[in-house]
Amino acid sequence: MDSRARRLRVAAPPPTARDDELLARVARGDQESFAELYDRYASVVFGVIRRVLRDPTQSEEVAQEVLVEAWRIAARYDPERGSVRTWLCTMAHRRAVDRVRSEQASRERIERIAHDQHNAEGDVVSDAVTSRLERQQVRDALGTLTDLQREAIELAYYGGHTYREVSELLGAPLGTVKTRMRDGLIRLRDAMGVSA
């Protein structure tokens, strides 16, 4: 063989490795082999993912995740279970489906939170209206009491005074104050329609 033929032979690119050999070198941390694997399969992986996700940006992200995962777990590849192409496509499909499920769960969670917040706002309004109606009902019921009953109850419940203090403030015997308050509370209960 002449020197020119030897130079051409040396300069000629080496034959491309089989996929499983290439992946075995990737498993040993060979970056050049990973670059070659990436060049061979990046578009295939992207295509599988794009068919599931439809969104090109998300598809690119997931394809990147799959190829990084292939780099990380290349040693787990088992040629008995299928080709490298099948292995990568299976990982791509699974990761794309996971992304769809994650997006759907996230959307449902956001909708649930929005629904809960909307209901909470409605509950605040409902609570305010109910509270206002109850206050009005108490005012109306207080209007059914005698002046002496109302005064004793207001001093005790709104003024925060004890029975003894109410007795002193009204200048009435303690027993009389207790009787007025008991009768007044019974009347309030009946006026508000509360069962005993």
Give the span between the Cα atoms of 24 and 77, in whole angstroms. Answer: 8
- Going 167 to 171 to 175 to 180, the CA torsion angle's sign is negative
Q: What one-character-per-residue DSSP string does 33-96 give?
A: HHHHHHHHHHHHHHHHHHHHH--HHHHHHHHHHHHHHHHHTGGG--GGG--HHHHHHHHHHHHH
Tell whether the model's pLDDT for residue 170 goes beyond 70.
Answer: yes
Of the pLDDT bands very low, low, confident and very high (cuts 50, 70, 90), residue 9 is: very low
Q: Which residue has the tokens 């670059």?
A: 35
166: exposed, middle or buried (C-beta count within 10 Å: 0-12, 13-18, 19+)?
buried
What pLDDT, in 10s, does the model give residues 110-145? Answer: 888 877 776 655 566 677 777 787 788 878 888 888
| Residues ≥6 apart with Cβ < 8 Å to 176 | 167
Of the pLDDT bands very low, low, confident and very high (cuts 50, 70, 90), residue 10 is: very low
Question: Can you give the pTM of this predicted structure?
Answer: 0.51
Tell whether the model's pLDDT for residue 44 goes beyond 90.
Answer: yes
pLDDT of residue 110: 86
Number of other residues whose CB lies within 10 A of the CB of residue 75? 11
Number of other residues whose CB lies within 10 A of the CB of residue 34? 20
Q: What is the CATH number of domain 126-192?
A: 1.10.10.10
Tell whether the model's pLDDT for residue 86 goes beyond 50.
Answer: yes
Rounded to an integer, the average pLDDT of 59-73 is 95
Question: Has domain 3-110 been given CATH number 3.40.50.2000?
Answer: no
| Domain parsing of the chain, residue ranges | 3-110, 126-192
Please state, rounded to an integer, the average pLDDT across all residues of the chain.
83
Number of other residues whose CB lies within 10 A of the CB of residue 151? 19
Tell whether the model's pLDDT for residue 76 goes beyond 60.
Answer: yes
